[in-house]
Amino acid sequence: MKIKYILSLLFLIMGITGQISATEIISDEVQSQKSTDSLKPKTNRFQFGGYGEVVMSRYFYSDNFNRYTYPEEYKSSVSRGQFDLPHVVLYSSYDFGKGWKVSTEIEFEHGGAGSSIEIEADEFGEYESEIEKGGEIVLEQFWIEKKFSDHIYLRAGHIIVPIGLTNQHHMPTEFFTNYRPEEETSIIPVTWHETGVSLWGYLGKWRYEAMLIAGLDADRFNNANWIKGGGGSPYEFKLANAYAGVLRIDNYSVKGLRLGISGYYGHSAANSLKADRYKGLKGAVTLGSFDLHYNAHNFQIRGNIIYGDLTDSERISAINKNLPKASPSPKTNVASNAMCYNVEAGYDFFSFIPKLSQKQKFYLYVHYGFYDSMYKTEGKIADDARYSRHIAAAGINYYPIKNIVIKAEFFSRLFAEPYNTENTFSLGIAYSGLFDRS
């Protein structure tokens, strides 16, 4: 099914009628419907806050780079442990008055390193240094905004790209698992942030957002993560020879339920430092997504599906594999199509204990999903089955107070034969909130 027909169907699903004021939306579900605004000031002109995560994991599978090449040799493995700081983010915002506001978010990922050393399976197990970001500290957001009314906000700067569920809701109190859902983070940038212009606002039961940003960079697409590497920039600047458009629409017709659709279209071949190698190619990336969040009657249910298409994938793959060794390109094949979906559901069992339920929550949850970064391939590019993966997880989320959550989970990554199941147990603690509230 062509992506435009998928998007049309999603818009029909969203076609719910009714009346509700923008003020009612802002004061209710919208408080958590986007992480870019969930920390927004409501009273003080200056606000300071953030979020962060600490995770301890125990892995019950081999981390040998050959475990997918020779899976029969790694059916059993001694467990191994790991501590991690997935994200620590500091947020600040200042309201200048007359509708003008500025906001920033600075993120430290995995302790704040800008580069990492890893063993690369596609290069015969060699140690390889990879630049993950353009600096040790990531400027995730910096924008200046003008509010004209509840219906129209104009924002310019470095902005979150609201494609899918997790980009729009990426704080650790907005998903059950210890890590952001792997299904999404494995095929698109998360958190995806680009420099551009955004127009957004509220219209009755609806929230809309339209963006113009720089397109992705085709030379950093790969087999394991599809277009994910094409976001951001490893350079001191962001190439913008080609632009991209983004549209997101959310609906709040049913109390406690948010339905959202989002779409992206942009060319990627021109946004490489070696753009002359891609002459005559567009590398058009099209994404369509539908997501939902239900929070009522002591249940929380979240779900998401993303489908993506890349044109010229066979020729882009051939060019990337022949780029100079010093290039930041992974130099692998890239698929023409990728897709993912996930759903998680939790119930607050403290709801049965009135004295506890007033201030604390204790969710038991399950999570299931699927992703394939090589869902469909073009021409002579082979579909690598190891990138087709199912995810199953279950665990608890305990909120001793509203802004802090303690998580425990058992997580399984499931493959088709002959690959081995990869099991993990993890414990985590996380927070999100403003630091200057009384």
Q: Which CATH architecture has domain 3-434?
A: Beta Barrel (2.40)
Domain boundaries, the chain: 3-434
Which pLDDT does position 252 carry in this prediction? Answer: 97
Which pLDDT does position 20 carry in this prediction? Answer: 35
Which pLDDT does position 235 carry in this prediction? Answer: 82
Of 183, 195, 114, 128, the residue nearest 343 (C-alpha): 183
Segment among 134-148, 342-356, 374-388 with least mean pLDDT: 134-148
Mean pLDDT to the nearest integer, 286-314: 98
Which pLDDT does position 436 carry in this prediction? Answer: 73
Which pLDDT does position 233 carry in this prediction? Answer: 83
pLDDT band at 114 (very low <50, low <70, confident <90, very high): low
Which pLDDT does position 36 carry in this prediction? Answer: 41
pLDDT in tens, 50-93: 999 999 999 999 999 899 999 999 988 889 999 999 999 999 99
pLDDT in tens, 149-165: 999 999 999 999 999 99
Which pLDDT does position 43 carry in this prediction? Answer: 57
Which pLDDT does position 30 carry in this prediction? Answer: 46
Which pLDDT does position 253 carry in this prediction? Answer: 97
Mean pLDDT to the nearest integer, 240-252: 96
pLDDT in tens, 276-288: 899 999 999 999 9
pLDDT at 5 over 50: no
Segment among 161-165, 200-204, 299-303, 328-332 with least mean pLDDT: 328-332
pLDDT in tens, 332-356: 999 999 999 999 999 999 999 998 9
Mean pLDDT to the nearest integer, 291-296: 98
Share of the chain above pLDDT 70, in %: 84
pLDDT in tens, 163-186: 999 999 999 999 999 999 999 999
pLDDT band at 362 (very low <50, low <70, confident <90, very high): very high
Question: How much is the mean pLDDT over the chain?
Answer: 87
pLDDT at 120 over 70: no
